């Protein structure tokens, strides 16, 4: 089987599922409890003086 054909078959069958699971994991990681405090600290980094 050619490489392109094998990759195309994988993308058609499992690629969408993998991308959806990755997206959901990023969303859950972003909106998890305790993420707000870390995001606020990261947002203040450019404004801090050394």
Phi, then psi, of 2 in degrees rounded to 5: -70, 155
The pLDDT assigned to 11 comes to 86
Task: Tell me if 29 sits within 8 A of 35, measured CB to CB.
Answer: yes
Residue written as token pair 């801090």 = 48
* pLDDT tens-digit map of 8-31: 988 888 988 999 999 999 999 989
Q: What is the DSSP string of 1-50?
A: --HHHHHHHHIIIIIHHHHHHHHHHHHHHHTSTTHHHHHHHHHHGGG---
pTM, to two decimals: 0.61
């Amino acid at each position: 089987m050619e490489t392109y054909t094998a990759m195309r078959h994988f993308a058609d069958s499992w690629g969408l599922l993998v991308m959806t699971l990755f997206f959901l994991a990023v969303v859950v990681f972003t909106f998890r409890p305790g993420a707000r405090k870390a995001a606020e600290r990261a947002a203040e980094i450019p404004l801090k003086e050394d």
